[in-house]
Structure 1
Amino acid sequence: GNPCNTCAICRGALDGSLMDILEMDAASNNSVDNIRRLCDEIVFMPSQARYKVYIIDEVHMLSAGAFNALLKTLEEPPQHAVFILATTEPHRIPATILSRCQRYEFRRIPVDSMVAHLKKIAEQDQIGITPDALQTVAALADGALRDAISILDQARGAFEAPITHDQILSLVGVVRDQFLQQVAEVLLSGNIAELLQLVDQLVMAGRDLARFVTDLAQHFRNLLVCQLDGGENLLVRVNTKARAEMEVLASQTDANQLIGWIRDLSALLADLRWAADGRTALEIGLIRLMDVRPVRVPNLPERQSDAVKPAIQREKQPEPEPPAAKTPPPAEDEPPLPEPPPDSDEPEEPAEPEPVPPAEAPELDLEAIWQQTLDRLQASGQMTLYLFGRPARPQLCDQTLQLIFSSEEAIHYQEVSQAGAVKTIREIVQQISGREWQVKPVLARQDEQVACPADGPADWVHKIRQTAQKLGIPVHMEDA
């Protein structure tokens, strides 16, 4: 039953003077020796109460040996002993322990009940706080009254009365609702410049980027709820003014877009944990939420075929010109069949000076291929390889695409030089260019210009084999 709080045992339990209630923090006492000492003391009878109660808080922090030492006592406990194992992560407790316990699930405290209790505490302790701030404290506590009281106590020591909603958010490091609303509006408008300015404000304010991504996803969730017909303030706990602004913004988008943004933000949150530069990863992730992508190299084609085939198209254009020049008088005499056979010998002449040198990937086309490779890495979610590969300067030496890094970019060079990274980049480059290029990261020394190595015997053999394959001539290599 419920305690009376008037008898000697209840009063001793409240003020902590009752010796029959023992509490142990498993986070700091998780060894086998601590559990063995507890099991040795359990044989003693209670001094005042009927039972001797052992409360083990954060029991999931016990080591495997400590759980094994406790198992025998849990199987056959004395009649006067009661164990209370408290934890927030029951999945981390071994099944042998769970099977010997009677499990009670404590539900989260509703926000309305928590606000009423916090209001009573504020009145008793004479804490000046606005109703919106109390609502914010209850929402941030996520159903845990202890956390809510802790936030309220910190706010009392940090701010003067009356404590406001924005002060509570700044205390726990959460971005203000107005800022989240601005970011959502910029994402809808597609203004990348303004988005980068907002990210700069976020970074300069010292906010946690991962927490910001979580709050932004929660804001999009609130926008999604605002789109529901007949939605009330039960699911979106904001003030009337903020809800009106959210409803206006929600009317400018649809549910599919909001769901897609929430999904992409979840992926971005995972990338931020492993990204070396959190700000860059955040900026790229937010830009990807838009349909607009910035182009690093101006006046360059974005399609794969435009980046690789301009020289080939120029080669094919001169072919129809020779027959037109050799038959100038009648322009309509080209269709007859007798003329092409005698001219079939002559087209071999223009075929000989095929403009092969221009087809060896000019610098602009090479930069475009590398830019498309980076875009492909970004689109496939390989943010680590994308971020480390951005400083690379591409250079084509024969059939090898060298990725040149400066001496100050040694870390980037080490990451890109890994076997898996080189294989991934080579496959993407070959898909984009349509050529069997090899990929080789190169670390240049300070003020050093990396030049292509001189052609050796191996290079000539490679060229001969490549030419034979183009002409369909079988070639077999034999050792001399």
Structure 2
Amino acid sequence: MSYIALYRKWRPAVFEDVVEQEHVVKTLKHSVSKGRIAHAYLFCGTRGTGKTTMAKIFSRAINCLSPHDGDPCNQCEICKGILSENILDVIEIDAASNNSVDNVRSIRDEVIYAPSQAKYKVYIIDEVHMLSTGAFNALLKTLEEPPPHVVFILATTDPHKLPATILSRCQRFDFKRISIDSIVERIMKISRESDVELHKDAARLIAKTADGALRDAISLLDQCIGLGNSTISYEDVLSVAGISNDMFTADMLDAVIQRDISKILELVDILIMEGKDISQFVSGLVYYYRNVLICKMASNPRDIVDASEDSIKRMLLQQKELSKEKIMMAIKELSAVESSLKWVSSPRILLEVSLMKLCDPALNKGDDSVLERLAELEKRAAGAASVPSPQLKPDTEFKSSSPKDSKKVPSGQAASHAEAKPAEKPLLKHIAEWEAVINELKSSGRMVLYSNLIGTKALVLDNRFIGIVFGADKGFCKMVAAKAENLEIIEAAASKKLGREVKIKCLSEGDVQTNTGQEQDAPPEDELMATARELASKANVPLNVIDE
């Protein structure tokens, strides 16, 4: 007999052999025992969790001549015929390759015939979400009112892709991911029966790599057994799966913490030359950062982190060198890299650049990087506050950072003057050249804009923006001028007349106060900017604000 893959050889034959999924097993066994067989079932869940296996067991159980407590006996002629695929009353259809309307119509034409040997004719439709819209519509009526001798079992990994009309006609069962401990227990049993010694740490690595899919774990075990060794070690699993070990990942994180670019590039080169999968490495690095974050925030990380004691000790040391903000920024950055790797032609370059960005937060323009840099600034400010400031001579003078507004202040009065006197608010001034701008629009043939801007005023808001003030009865004119294409025309004309590039904002009369002696209330400063200015002042460092 030809070789049979382990996942097929060890496919459960009865409900009791199914790993986990107790909530589904209990319901289906009770349905068989009481004879409460529905006409349509929907099995949902990720790959390798037992959907098709459960469908096959259930198809035998409802047709078995002598079921035992809801389980098929697998000894009667019906069970043996279904197992050997000699009985044609259990039909398994792959919807991915049979997804047309004609395929579903053939099913609809066949269901009217009674089963040849079994009690029920069972249709197992795998990956049912792959059916076309027309095929779903053709299936609706048959699924709603099938003949009493027909049972449909639909299996899918993406139930959200199914029409609501299909979902409402089925009994739905959601299959859970299988836990690491259950996968370890199962593959250890399989390895013993296969006369192969599987190390416990190798079994846990296989289980973690499978990500809740028992079939993937058994397939990886089968591949490891194919090495021909009587013992499967942790290193064997690493080489077969093409992934890096925790020590290598920890070394990479140490290099990032130390901002050692040369070490990072050296480790990436080792990763590539050993033929490791970059996507797997990035996924493992994200998971490692997650464990470091747990070590930093959880009171007892050993109860949560699934790693060896040596690895957890190293994570506890590493978390002391990293802030929560930096860890979260790294997870966010690497997760984006992981999703982008499949689309790039040079994944190595993308990985190297991303790791360099983690070393230097200034290269990252995201909000997380800003928070990290503020945290660093707070540390510097705290250090500066702890150092006593030097005594200044009475005639020491302070100079403003702006040459235009610089003025001398005696040192004895500097601090009290800065606290007592608030910053002066700028007054909004009229633009004398505004009439020339309006006439420029008229001369260029922009009569619609010209007519809507007659009677308006222009004010200087700041170095870049000017505001067009419309009267209370000019709401329609303001709406016309505020259109994007019209703003571009006005900005071009204003920039030409004023001799500098400007941006336009359309305002109502009640929105502003001009320089008639009243001051306009300045908008409240952004909390992040206020914090940055305060910290820069304490640390006595310049603050550069880049408006992007």
Q: TM-score, length-normalised on structure 1? A: 0.58
The aligned residue for residue 87 of structure 1 is 156
Return the offset for 1:55: 0.5
Contact 1:27 1:58 in 2 (8 A): yes
- The aligned residue for residue 46 of structure 1 is 115
Task: State, as a whole percentage, how many aligned pairs show the same letter.
Answer: 43
Q: Provide the residue aligned with 1:246 in structure 2.
A: 315
Partner of 2:90: 21
How much does 1:221 deviate?
0.5
2:266 to 197, 200, 209: 197
- Which shifted more, 83-92 or 7-16? 7-16
In structure 2, C-alpha distance between the alignment counterparts of 1:264 and 1:62, rounded to whole Å: 36
Secondary structure class of the residue paired with 2:275 = coil
Quick one: which of 140, 165, 174 aligns to 2:209? 140
Query: 1:244, 1:135 → 2: CA distance?
Result: 19
Q: In the alignment, which residue of structure 1 is the partner of 2:180?
A: 111
How much does 1:77 deviate? 0.8
1:7 shift after superposition: 4.4
For the structure 1 residues 468 and 80, does the alpha-carbon distance in structure 2 shift closer, same or farther, using more than 3 Å as the test? Answer: closer
Amino acid corresponding to residue 87 of structure 1 in structure 2 = T
Instruction: Determine the structure 1 residue equivalent to 2:71.
Output: 3
Task: Determine if contact 1:137/1:168 at 8 Å carries over to the other structure.
Answer: yes
1:205 to partner: Cα distance: 2.6
Q: Deviations over 1:379-407 (max 9, x none)?
A: xxxxxxxxxxxxxxxxxxxxxxxxxxxxx
**1: CA distance, partners of 2:245 / 2:341:** 21
CA distance in structure 1 between the aligned counterparts of 2:136 and 2:497, rounded to whole angstroms: 71
Answer with 103-112 or 25-34: which moved more: 25-34
Query: Aligned pair 1:277/2:352, yes or no?
Result: no
Conserved in 1, the CA contact under 8 Å of 2:294 and 2:301?
no
8 A Cα contact 1:199 1:283, kept in partner: yes
Greater relative CO, 1 or 2 (CA 8 Å, sep 6+):
2
Query: SS at the partner of 1:86?
Result: strand
The number of residue pairs the alignment matches comes to: 303
Give matches, 1:295-314, under 5 Å: none
Deviations 1:278-306 (A, max 9, x none): 22222111111112779xxxxxxxxxxxx
Matched residue, 1:237:
306
Q: Determine the C-alpha separation between the residues in 2 that align with 1:183 and 1:285.
A: 13
* 2:126–2:155 Cα contact (<8 Å) kept: yes
Greater displacement, 266-275 / 120-129: 266-275
- Distance (Å, rounded) in 2 between the aligned partners of 1:287 and 1:264: 11
What's 2:197 paired with? 128
Q: Tell me how far apart the structure 1 counterparts of residues 236 and 318 of structure 2 sit (CA, whole Å).
A: 25
1:40 offset after TM fit, Å?
1.7
Q: How does 1:363-382 map to 2 (within 5 A)?
A: none
- Is 2:322 the partner of 1:288? no
Partners of 1:173 and 1:82 in 2: CA distance: 43
Counterpart of 1:168? 237
Structure 1: distance between partners of 2:146 and 2:193: 43
Is 1:212 the counterpart of 2:281 in the alignment?
Answer: yes
Over 3 Å counting, the alpha-carbon distance change for 1:255 and 1:63 in structure 2 is same
Kept after mapping to 1: 8 A contact 2:96/2:130: yes
Matched, 1:66 2:135: yes
Q: What does 1:446-461 correspond to in 2, within 5 Å?
A: none
How many Å apart are 1:250 and its aligned residue? 2.5
Distance 1:33 1:235 in 2: 52
Tell me the equivalent position of 1:152. 221
TM-aligned CA distance change 1:270 to 1:111, over 3 Å: closer
8 Å CA contact 1:209–1:278 kept in 2: the answer is: yes
Give the Cα–Cα distance (whole angstroms) in 1 for the partners of residues 229 and 292 of structure 2: 33
CA distance in 2, matches of 1:175, 1:244: 19
SS in 1 for 2:183: helix
**In structure 2, how many angstroms separate the alpha carbons of the residues matched to 1:263 and 1:292?**
13
Change (3 A) 1:271 1:154: closer
1:379 corresponds in structure 2 to none
Q: Which amino acid aligns with 2:307?
A: V
Q: Is the 8 A contact 2:198 2:232 kept in 1?
A: yes
Rounded to whole Å, the distance in 2 between the matches of 1:196 and 1:153 is 34
Q: How many angstroms does 1:104 deviate by? A: 0.7
Aligned residues of 2:195 and 2:230 also touching (Cα < 8 A):
no
CA distance in 1, matches of 2:242, 2:208: 14
**Uncovered stretches (5+) of structure 1, i.e. residues with no partner:** 295-316, 318-433, 435-464, 471-480
- Conserved? CA contact 1:287–1:293, under 8 Å: no
Structure 1 counterpart of 2:197, one-letter code: G
Task: Output the TM-score relative to the length of structure 2.
Answer: 0.51
Answering whether residue 149 of structure 2 is matched by residue 76 of structure 1, we say: no
CA separation in 1, counterparts of 2:320 and 2:330? 16
Contact preservation (8 Å) 1:24, 1:56: yes
Gaps in structure 2 of 5+ consecutive residues:
1-28, 30-69, 364-402, 404-463, 465-494, 501-548
Give the aligned partner of residue 290 of structure 2. 221
CA RMSD of aligned residues (A): 2.7
Q: What SS is found at the alignment partner of 2:226?
A: helix
Partner of 1:355: none
Partner of 1:98: 167
Counterpart residue type for residue 209 of structure 2: L
Q: Kindly indicate whether the alpha-carbon contact (under 8 Å) linking 1:21 and 1:52 is maintained by their aligned counterparts in 2.
A: yes
2:417 matched residue in structure 1:
none
Q: CA deviation at 1:54?
A: 0.7
Aligned residue type for 1:5: C
Once residues 466 and 94 of structure 1 are traced to their aligned partners in structure 2, the CA distance between those partners, rounded to angstroms, is 59
The Cα of 1:164 is off from its aligned counterpart by: 1.5
Contact 1:3 1:10 in 2 (8 A): no
